[in-house]
Structure formats: structure tokens, C-alpha cells
Amino acid sequence: MKKLSVVVPVFNEIKTIEVVLDRVGAAPLPEGVELEIVVVDDASTDGTRAKLEELAESGRQPFKLVSHAENRGKGAALRSGFAAAEGDFVLVQDADLEYHPRDYPVLLQPLLEEDADVVFGSRFLGGPHRVLFFWHYQGNRFLTLLSNMFTDLNLSDMETGYKVFRKEVLDKLTLHSNRFAIEPEMTAKVAKLRLRIFEVPISYAGRTYAEGKKIGWKDGVAAVWAILRYNLFG
């Protein structure tokens, strides 16, 4: 029996967190794979933490709850979640509704077949997706291209939120980024380890800023710096 740990970083997602956890709990898992859910509340201020405590007490969908005393960012939340995860595989699940757990089987397949150490779920390999921001798309393409130039990988979507790792791979990574720069940092560091990396197509339902999207142009600048920093200086 293999265990999948799903790490859910959360900040101010009161409108979506219950639905996300229901979807994760109902995700179709391959035979022989059991589920562990680790939720990290990054000092939410909109009632999300109280909602998580209520859901945890209800026992409807068991999960581990890790709480930060102050807001530190997605990267910091992921580090806390990775430390608490006990599964053979660790999957990152954002707490909004942009990524759907129905894609878990396709994400896990290369790992279960012993073909991969890390799997990226690409939004740009032909899966169904909501049509939204042109400049966000171009920004993602630029960051992926820049990352690929330094890592010598041919990824189509470095910034994807769906990344799955063998736990022993994560244990080899020393991660530092606190915000969204965690994505290029993880990519640079798995590339340096010469691991087997697969990409698979996923569905994607991007949301607007009015619907709660948080990443902005400053995070794009930080991602460029992270690509340079972690590829050139380790």
C-alpha cells in the first residue's frame, strides 16, 4: 500500500476551502493508494482558520491541520506541510478551485510505474482550461522559458501549482522561498539533482482577481530573481 500526502497551503480561502477538501477527499485514487491530507493555514484573517478547526472537529474528512502564527507565504506554508507529510508521494494542492483533484490519477501514474521522481501537471499540454488573462499566459511562458534556459529542461509549465514528488526527493531539498518563488526554486533544485521529471496534461479553471486570485506582477519579478539565484548560486 502506498500513501499519497496532499499538502494544501491556505490563506484567506473561506469561500473555497470546504469544497476543496471535499474534492480532495473524493479524488479517484489508483488501487493500492491511500490518502493523507495536510492543511497549512498561513495565518488567515477571514475566518478560514475557524472553518478549518470546525471541519477538523467534525471528522467528516480527516486531515492534519498545521497553523502559522503569522502570514509567511505559500513557500513557507509548503515547507511546513512537507515536514508534516508522511506519504510515499507528496502532492501540492492549492486551496482555491483552479486545480481539480480528479487529475490525481494522471499525476500519479508516472510515479506508480517507477518512471518518474517528480511530476509536473501542465496547464498548457492540451487539457481543458478556462480562457482568461493573455498577459498572465505570456508571463508564464516567459518564466518557463527563462527557467528552462538555466535548468536545461523542456518544461511547458514551470509555474504550475500541481507538482508531485517522491517523499525521498523532498527530503533532499533545502527550500528557502516564502512566497510564490517557491515554484522556480523547487524546479531549479530538482533539476540540479538530475531527477526523472515528467509532465502530464491537467485541467485548469483559473480565477480572476475579483474571485480571489493573489499572484501579481511583483511575484513575477521575484520569480525571475529566484530563477537566477537558485540556478546560478545554488
Q: Which amino acid is at 17?
A: I
Check: pTM over 0.85? Answer yes or no: yes
Q: How sure is the predictor about 208, in pLDDT bands with cuts at 50, 70 and 90?
A: low
Q: How sure is the predictor about 88, in pLDDT bands with cuts at 50, 70 and 90?
A: very high
Q: 74-84 and 182-192 helices cross at what angle (nearest 10)? A: 50
Domain harbouring 85, CATH code: 3.90.550.10
Domain holding 201, by residue range, is: 2-232
Spatial neighbors of 203 by CB under 8 A, at least 6 apart, are 99, 100, 102, 103, 127, 128, 129
pLDDT at 77: 97
pLDDT at 197: 97
- Per-residue pLDDT for 118 more than 90? yes
Residue 9 — φ and ψ, nearest 5°? -80, 135
DSSP 159-209: T-S-EEEEHHHHTT------STTHHHHHHHHHHHTT--EEEEE--B----T
What digits encode the pLDDT tens for the residues 9-23?
Answer: 999 999 999 999 999
pLDDT at 25: 96
Mean of the pLDDT values across residues 93-105?
95
Task: Please state, in angstroms and rounded to a whole number, the distance separating the CA atoms of residues 189 and 106.
Answer: 24
Angle at 222 between CA 221 and CA 227, to 5 degrees: 100
Where b means 16+ CB within 10 Å and e means fewer, 144-156 reads bebbbebbebebb
Count of domains forming the chain: 1
3-state secondary structure 20-73: HHHHHHCCCCCCCEEEEEEEEECCCCCCHHHHHHHHHHHCCCCCEEEECCCCCC
